[in-house]
Amino acid sequence: MKTAEVVIVGGGIVGSSIAYHLTEAGCKDVLVIERETAQGKGSTGKSMGGVRAQFSTPISIQMSLYSIPFYASFDQRLGFPADYRPQGYLFCATNDRHLAYLRANYQKQIELGLKNVRLITADEIRGMFPQLRADDILGGSFCSTDGFVDPYSAMIGFMSRAADHGATLWKHTAVTDIQRDALGVTGVETTRGLVATRKLVNAAGPWAAEVAAMAGVDLPVQPLRRMLVPTEPFDEFPHTAPMIIDMSTGFHFRPEALGLLLAWNDPEETPGFKTEFEPGFIEKILTHAADRVPVFENLSVNPKRAWAGLYEMTPDHHPIIGEASDVPGLFFANGFSGHGVMHAPATGKIVSDLVLSGRTDLVDVSLLSFNRFAEGRMIEETAVL
């Protein structure tokens, strides 16, 4: 029978980062099990690749304070590219409530040590991007070290480096059951046979609840469809632009190749494993786009290039990270609620610390425990795009 010191279910960016951090910490006997024939077919390959530290809760900010410098030095550290582009995130407030919210977040971000964030005036925004309709913009916040990465490349970099240091990746292999005894996890059933292990990490992305259910745990992680619309080449908006967020509608966009990538959180979307792109979304998003940026009337879009993927949502929009109290040896790294790429480096470090020593200095991880829901300790993150 195959044995491994640590088994990770899921070879997306989160499982790959955990494998990397474990092997860096000296734990070589790591097996990653991925049911698809290739990595990246889950949420990671569908992501917009945005990375930001402009959050509203200290723990989300702290996760970014580890992760963004990590991405900035990814190529040197790992010898693989992550394509980090520090073009920033610009939040544009259109009412006093938004402005007060950005101010309060800014205060927390500065107190926690974020250096490159600043509040900016409406005039500055107009000066930076005269293409925006700014009659209702009251001000905003901008952080120059926020930006974008290539999630697929980062995932491959993490896994390749982990494999160089001893980790094994099984593709085209599904975990079908979790075995336990009185002391906790003893192994997993897979489509390649039984694997014995005392340490199992659930990194199954939107399918996390299915994997947790194999151990009898009811994990509150729900899949929620998100759609992205790339445009054809467009040169009437600078390609050096940051991610720009119109807080009046939630519409946001960033440069992508010779065009733009458009995103909007449709409030009518309902949870479920829906991964087909809905053509009617294009008209909705282009209406928001042209409303905020009048030259976007001239955008052209090929619906065949648009796509949909799944966010893994938790009730308070924070991940669930840590060991299951009822199932010793089962660790969660789930429910990133739209932030799994930007928080993958921190998650890898935290989970590796917990698996190997039972504790971490990076954050107060008790805030992210599964038990917070039963104990009424939810910590709502509201800066979710």
Ligand X SMILES: Cc1cc2nc3c(=O)[nH]c(=O)nc-3n(C[C@H](O)[C@H](O)[C@H](O)COP(=O)(O)OP(=O)(O)OC[C@H]3O[C@@H](n4cnc5c(N)ncnc54)[C@H](O)[C@@H]3O)c2cc1C
340 near ligand X, judged by CB under 6 A: yes
- Give exposure, 360-372, as e/b (b: 16+ Cβ within 10 Å): beebebebbbbeb
Which residues have C-beta within 8 Å of that of residue 261, sequence separation ≥ 6? 48, 228, 229, 230, 231, 253, 254, 255
242 near ligand X, judged by CB under 6 A: no
Closest listed residue to residue 53, CA positions, set 99, 103, 98, 116 = 116
Which residues have C-beta within 8 Å of that of residue 350, sequence separation ≥ 6? 321, 360, 362, 363, 365
Chosen residue from 98, 161, 252, 339 binding ligand X by CB under 6 A? 339
Interface of this chain with ligand X, residues 25 to 64, rule: CB under 6 A: 33-36, 41-44, 46-50
175 near ligand X, judged by CB under 6 A: yes
Distance of CA 159 to the CA centre of its chain: 17
From CA 350, how far away is CA 203, in angstroms rounded?
13
According to DSSP, residue 294 is labeled: G
Residue 181 CA: distances (Å) to CA of 136, 193, 219, 371: 61, 19, 20, 22
150 near ligand X, judged by CB under 6 A: no
338 near ligand X, judged by CB under 6 A: yes
From CA 25, how far away is CA 184, in angstroms rounded?
24
CB atoms within 10 A of CB 379: 15
Chosen residue from 311, 331, 332, 370 binding ligand X by CB under 6 A? 311
159 near ligand X, judged by CB under 6 A: no
Nearest CB to ligand X, comparing residues 28 and 41: 41
Stretch that binds ligand X, among 12-20, 71-79, 84-92, 284-292 (CB under 6 A): 12-20
Nearest CB to ligand X, comparing residues 125 and 321: 321
167 near ligand X, judged by CB under 6 A: no
Chosen residue from 7, 8, 14, 221 binding ligand X by CB under 6 A? 14
Chosen residue from 98, 161, 199, 226 binding ligand X by CB under 6 A? 226
Tokens of 306: 């648009």
71 near ligand X, judged by CB under 6 A: no
Helices (H), 140-266: 151-164, 208-213
Interface of this chain with ligand X, residues 191 to 220, rule: CB under 6 A: 203-207, 211
Stretch that binds ligand X, among 55-63, 129-137, 331-339, 371-379 (CB under 6 A): 331-339
Q: Write out the residues near ligand X by the rule CB under 6 A.
A: 9-15, 33-36, 41-44, 46-50, 174-175, 203-207, 211, 226, 228, 309-312, 336, 338-342
